[in-house]
Amino acid sequence: GCKDDINTTIINFNNEKMQITWATRKLFPKENVSFSYTFDEGKHKVWKPCTTYLLDQDYNSGCLFKTEGPTLAISIRNNNGSEELFCKKFKSDFYIKPNRPENVTFFWKEDTVTVSCNKPERAAWCLRLELQYKSKFDKEWQSRISKCCSVGEQGFDPRKCYSFRVRLRRLVPFCNVVNYSSDWEAETFWMNGTSLDSCDDDITSQSNTVIVLSSSLAILLMMLILLILLCKWQRVRMSVLPAIPDPKYLFADLFNDHNGNVQEWLEKNDHVLLQTKIEHEEPEHIIEAESQQEDGKNSDKQEPLEKIFTFSGAAENNDGNAAQNACLIPAPSTMNSFAGFHISMNDDIYVML
């Protein structure tokens, strides 16, 4: 009999191709063994030599060939084939590794997602569809397994981005003696039912939004602070350094029309200065003077002139402003005599003694 205690790895890829591998450097050091196989049953077996070897440092370490039936017998011999080193007979159907799921679709409804794929043509009842998912905040994958070929899960947060991947698994021990699963289908990314290229896009977009908002708020705050400081500085500057009028506007004609000749400018603008002075006098003094003038007109013409004289004298001896206000009362030019003195009043209301 042949030796069957050598450890080999047997994979039947979707019942299409067989791959048999062994640890050649450990089992057959420095010896290039040969491999043959057959799917025939009974006494009349036809052994086929391996045409596609798998190599490990130029030594045969495996064989790849087409799957042709449910029962397989293999044989490993020395280089010239004179001695059989290993042989084994087994059911190839018990070593099936399924292909990746095909045409995977995602159906979202609120917080629930249903993932489906095409149903394989053979032995679909032996397969399970496994769904794994995780959000960007999870470290480990969450798994959900269902019959081929649809699986659903609920409780997804619409504010999170999730990664999804699916694969097909072969049932053990009813269909396989080895727990083989397909390779993972390409990973996909979803957020609130919308497919994304990557969850990094979501993180980047959120980061960019936060940066833009933060920058905008910082700029607005700085502008507000600068505006407040500017207003306060203006108020402080006005209180500490009051505005000084520019003389070039008040005396523009002095320099433009008279070339800085003050005497000429004063002679020409004497009536303007007088008019400006009158306009700036306090209104109550003018009203008082007018009231006294009206009383003078309405009183008896023989009213003693002592009042007038006394008033004029008080104007000369007392406050200059009072005298000025009294003298600015408009009246026609008149001449009066009192105690030998002649009192003359001209149009400008100046009393001439």
Q: Tokens standing for 300?
A: 């008896």
Q: Tokens standing for 60?
A: 């045969």
Instruction: Give the integer Cα–Cα distance in Å for 93 and 97.
Output: 9
Domain range summary for the chain, segments of one domain joined by +: 8-97, 105-196, 202-266
Q: Helices 320-327 and 283-298 sit at what angle, rounded to 10 degrees?
A: 50
- CA-atom Rg of the chain in angstroms: 59
Burial of 177 (0-12, 13-18, 19+ CB in 10 A): middle
Give the pLDDT score at 184: 95
Strands 96-97 and 8-13: parallel
| CA 264 to chain CA mean position, Å | 72
CATH of 105-196, one of 2.60.40.10, 2.102.10.10, 3.20.20.70, 3.10.180.10: 2.60.40.10
Give the pLDDT score at 267: 73
CATH topology of domain 8-97: Immunoglobulin-like (2.60.40)
Give the pLDDT score at 315: 41
The residue written with tokens 């020395």 in the block is 78
Give the pLDDT score at 278: 52
Instruction: Give the integer Cα–Cα distance in Å for 145 and 293.
Output: 116
Which positions of the chain have pLDDT values less than 70? 1-2, 4, 201-209, 237, 240-258, 260, 262, 265, 269-353
Q: Could you give the 3-state DSSP secondary structure of residue 291?
A: helix
